[in-house]
A and B are shown apart, each in its own frame.
Chain A
Amino acid sequence: MTTLKRLPGVVVGELIMFFARALTGVRPIWRGTLPRQTQRIYFGNHGSHGDFVLIWTTLPGPIRDITRPVAGQDYWLASALRRFIGRSVFNALLIDRQPKPGEPTPVDLMAESLSHGESLIIFPEGTRNTTDAPLLPFKSGLFHLGRRSPGVELVPLWIDNIRRVIPKGQWLPVPMVCSVTYGEPLSVGADEDKDTFLRRAEAAVLALRPAESIDA
């Protein structure tokens, strides 16, 4: 019964991946690491709703099965279709970006998920970047997670070109070749302070940006 229940999510997931590949020919570039089933936090730039999809599409199936994107529940619970895609297709970890006092914080929820052996996809910029800057300053969640779960590899990644596929305010995607470059895993140093680590993590993400990349 449970497998039967999961079927629509799996089928729609395959359709989404087929569509993503047809439109963007997306391919992973494993530059600093290889796909492994070890527990990881994948973190990268966020410019489009398509970002999850591309990372998800480039991760091999067995790794994808244990990896959950972290997403804002205000967006993903707003309609039945988004709820279905967020929960049944992506198995997203939905968080309240403004938790009420007494409720677990986003970092608590993510740390709990990591304690179950899951991997996570997070976008430390906190929101989609619609500015001209290649990357917004990272929020502190990545640092706190890295400290609370020292055994988890923090894998930086750069998603290239998806912002040009669906620019802000457009609904019709245009075909462009996209890539996801995975870099060398980081961890928070023993006596490293928050700002130093976050600058280091930002630099690691930016360094993965292809030289021929064109801004959206």
Chain B
Amino acid sequence: MSYSPSQTAPFEAQTQWLFVAVLGVLIVASVIGGLLKWRVAHGQPHGVIDNLNSRIKAWWVMVLLVSLSFAFGKTGVILLFLFMSFAALREYVTLTYTRTADHLVLALMFYVALPLQYYLIWIEWYGLYSIFIPVHVFLIMPILASFGGDTNRFLERTAKMQWGLMICVFCLSHLPALLTLDIPGYEGRNLLLIAYLIMVVQGSDVLQYVWGKLIGKRKVAPTLSPSKTVGGLVGGIASATALGSALYWCTPFNPWQAALVSLGICLMGFLGGLVMSAIKRDRGVKDWGAMIEGHGGMLDRLDSVVFAAPMFFHVVRYWWTP
């Protein structure tokens, strides 16, 4: 990608608008959170309000981190997602049944597969980064595991570790991979695609939460996720799709295309959240970790992003690149 002054001008203007808008939302949310604490909770400990406020605080940190990485361009973004993949994979592996014989496979996942996947994206080698984990690493993993000589629950262990790399590294790395797409007429602005995906997915999560609290009654999938309601789902996805459509000006899409793409993002995000909570139920835990106050772990925040990212990447790549 080239960053000539004529091409960066719209990028900078649009980034500033987005930044101001996000900052505005955060300030409004913080003020509401503060008012609720003061008027409703009277400064006393209050489960829902305190959780809301620690979530808002965590959002400030996340927005600042993403903005900071954007300021460093491609390298900054790749390092940010490398770190997020690392933290997510660490949480995943912690809750996954492994045996001593898997040590070598685990080391390969963290010290080889993870950095190499991001390196391949950094050098923009699409042909390899799109198959590196699901083909090459997936074959090497059971080979290394078999060297350990422990056949106890062998297929289960291998499959679980493969699935961990898939969601925590492969899927998530499709966000920085958006930077490698050459979209005619959109040169130098690919960072906005990342911001767009994050805003629609996370907007959908937040709006589902808000609509669920306001009008949610019937549960969508009570055995998987007791907090997801029909009202929250419909209201959240409809309003997040509207948000995605309204943000079309920072994408290569026109408004109706942006609406369709956002709808796809929201649905994948919702379904991803369901799958990830099914895994948590299976393990008998409520959260993946305790890294981000109010949100649980890194994976609790990323569950919907990881499912939406590859879909979004391939939609853009198929229809918007030559």
Complex A-B: 24 CB contacts under 8 Å: A25-B90, A27-B290, A161-B94, A167-B103, A169-B100, A172-B103, A174-B93, A174-B103, A174-B106, A174-B110, A175-B89, A175-B90, A176-B93, A176-B94, A177-B90, A177-B91, A177-B94, A177-B289, A211-B284, A212-B95, A214-B94, A214-B95, A214-B97, A214-B98
Asked whether B103 lies within 8 Å of A25 as measured between CB atoms, the reply is no
Task: Determine the residue in chain B with the shortest Cβ distance to A174.
Answer: B106
Contacts of A175 in B (CB 8 A): 86, 89-90, 93, 110
Min CB distance A69 to B, Å, is 25
Task: Tell me the B residues contacting A by CB distance below 8 Å.
Answer: 86-87, 89-91, 93-98, 100, 103, 106-107, 110-111, 283-285, 289-291
Min CB distance B272 to A, Å, is 22
Asked whether B283 lies within 8 Å of A212 as measured between CB atoms, the reply is yes
Asked whether B98 lies within 8 Å of A164 as measured between CB atoms, the reply is yes
Asked whether A168 lies within 8 Å of B87 as measured between CB atoms, the reply is no
Count how many chain A residues have C-beta atoms less than 8 Å from C-beta atoms of the other chain: 17
Q: Which of A25, A176, A211, A216 contacts B100 (CB 8 A)?
A: A216
Interface presence of A98 (CB below 8 A): no
Task: Determine the residue in chain B with the shortest Cβ distance to A24.
Answer: B90
Task: Tell me the A residues contacting B by CB distance below 8 Å.
Answer: 25, 27, 161, 164, 167-170, 172, 174-177, 211-212, 214, 216
Contacts of A214 in B (CB 8 A): 94-98
Q: How far is the CA of A164 from the CA of B103 in the complex (A)?
A: 8
Q: How far is the CA of A214 from the CA of B102 in the complex (A)?
A: 14
Contacts of B110 in A (CB 8 A): 174-175
User: Given A175-B90, A175-B93, A177-B94, A212–B285 Cβ distance below 8 Å?
Assistant: yes
Q: How far is the CA of A211 from the CA of B283 in the complex (A)?
A: 10
Contacts of B103 in A (CB 8 A): 167, 170, 172, 174
Q: How far is the CA of A164 from the CA of B110 in the complex (A)?
A: 14
Asked whether A25 lies within 8 Å of B87 as measured between CB atoms, the reply is yes
Q: How far is the CA of A113 from the CA of B281 in the complex (A)?
A: 48
Task: Determine the residue in chain B with the shortest Cβ distance to A169.
Answer: B100
Q: How far is the CA of A172 from the CA of B289 in the complex (A)?
A: 24
Contacts of A211 in B (CB 8 A): 284
Contacts of A216 in B (CB 8 A): 100
Q: How far is the CA of A27 from the CA of B292 in the complex (A)?
A: 12
User: Given A175-B90, A175-B93, A168–B100 Cβ distance below 8 Å?
Assistant: yes
